[in-house]
């Protein structure tokens, strides 16, 4: 069965997936250039993500969408298991949002240009000034129900365990007074972990759990950001069980 799935990936899923990637990128770039980045910066990517998941015949289960309020901006924070986290969130969260992503992703063919056109937020950690500019970009775009998705671990796990969280997303939530929504991803590490980038995908169900939004509260400052971080991480840890690394 494994070899049949690999033959299917090579002969059908790979060429169609590459075609879908190029088409989605071109439509995003052209659509955003013509105006309406709010629409063209989200929906082509959402359809692309769903297409990739469906091409690989991966079962999807999502729960918790009913916990989100229509028209409310959120900062979503998710554990980062593998490459398919992107497809799961983009395709199935069902909220218009901007990614906060590494500056190096700009160099990806087609995808990097599409992300720039869609006005996703690139993080350059080379200097404090660059980080401040990234936060300023997020502040300007999180309006009228637009949300932000961040992987607070900073990079994908190397061993399937949850890594410590960085504070950036929680400081931003405190500053902008926006609720934090933890997201738990399960199954992505089994489909394609970091150490198998660009190789065969393994068939495995994917699961996205949207947790209860965490109010930012009345307090402000570093202590409040630490509270949001720890509360968010605890929720994801509890959902995942013992599959964690050192505490934040």
3-state secondary structure of 42: coil
Cβ-in-10-Å burial (0-12, 13-18, 19+) of 71 comes to exposed
* CA atoms of 197 and 176, how far apart (whole Å): 35
At 84 the pLDDT is: 95
pLDDT (tens digit, 9 = 90+) per residue, 61-115? 999 999 999 999 999 999 999 999 999 999 999 999 999 888 878 888 899 999 9
| Cβ pair 184, 93 in contact under 8 A | no
- What is the model's pLDDT at position 248? 39
Averaged pLDDT, 120-134: 74
Strands of 147-150's sheet, edge to edge? 60-63, 206-210, 180-186, 75-78, 147-150, 97-102, 121-123
Question: What DSSP string runs through 185-226?
Answer: EESHHHH--GGGTTS------EEEEEPPPB---S--SHHHHH
Question: Residue 174's pLDDT band (boundaries 50, 70, 90)?
Answer: very high
pLDDT at 246: 42
Q: What does the pLDDT read at residue 247? A: 40
Going by DSSP bridges, is the β-strand pair 75-78/97-102 parallel, antiparallel, or unpaired? unpaired
Q: Coil, strand, or helix at residue 184?
A: strand
- Beta-bridge partner residues of 100: 121
Instruction: Give the pLDDT confidence score for residue 127 in this predicted structure.
Output: 65
Going by their DSSP bridges, the two strands 180-186 and 206-210 should be labelled as antiparallel
Q: Please name the residue ranges forming H helices in the chain.
A: 2-8, 14-33, 37-40, 43-55, 84-92, 111-117, 128-141, 168-176, 188-191, 222-240
Report whether pLDDT(9) > 80.
Answer: yes
Q: Using CA atoms, how far apart are residues 65 and 69, in angstroms rounded to an integer?
A: 9
Enclosing H/E stretch for 205: none
Confidence at residue 100, expressed as pLDDT on a 0 to 100 scale: 87
Place of tokens 């950036």: 168
């Amino acid at each position: 069965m494994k070899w049949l799935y690999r033959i299917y990936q090579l002969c059908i899923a790979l060429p169609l997936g590459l075609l879908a990637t190029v088409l989605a990128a071109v439509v995003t770039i052209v659509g955003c250039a013509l105006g309406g980045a709010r629409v063209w910066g989200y929906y082509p990517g959402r359809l692309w993500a769903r297409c990739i998941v469906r091409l690989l015949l991966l079962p999807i289960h999502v729960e918790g969408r009913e916990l989100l309020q229509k028209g409310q901006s959120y900062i979503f924070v998710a554990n980062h298991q593998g490459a398919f986290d992107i497809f799961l969130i983009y395709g199935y969260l069902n909220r218009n949002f901007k990614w906060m992503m590494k500056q190096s992703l700009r160099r990806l063919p087609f995808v990097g240009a599409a992300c720039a056109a869609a006005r996703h937020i690139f993080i350059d950690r080379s200097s404090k000034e660059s980080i401040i500019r990234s936060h300023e970009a997020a502040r300007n775009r999180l309006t009228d129900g637009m949300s932000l998705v961040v992987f607070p671990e900073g990079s994908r796990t190397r061993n399937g365990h949850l890594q410590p969280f960085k504070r950036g997303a929680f400081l931003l939530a405190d500053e902008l007074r926006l609720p934090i929504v933890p997201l738990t991803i399960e199954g992505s590490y089994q489909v394609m972990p970091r150490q198998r980038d660009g190789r065969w995908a393994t068939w495995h169900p994917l699961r996205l759990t949207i947790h209860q939004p965490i109010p930012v509260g009345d307090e402000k400052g570093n202590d409040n950001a630490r509270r949001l971080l720890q509360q968010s991480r605890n929720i994801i840890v509890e959902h995942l069980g013992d599959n964690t690394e050192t505490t934040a």
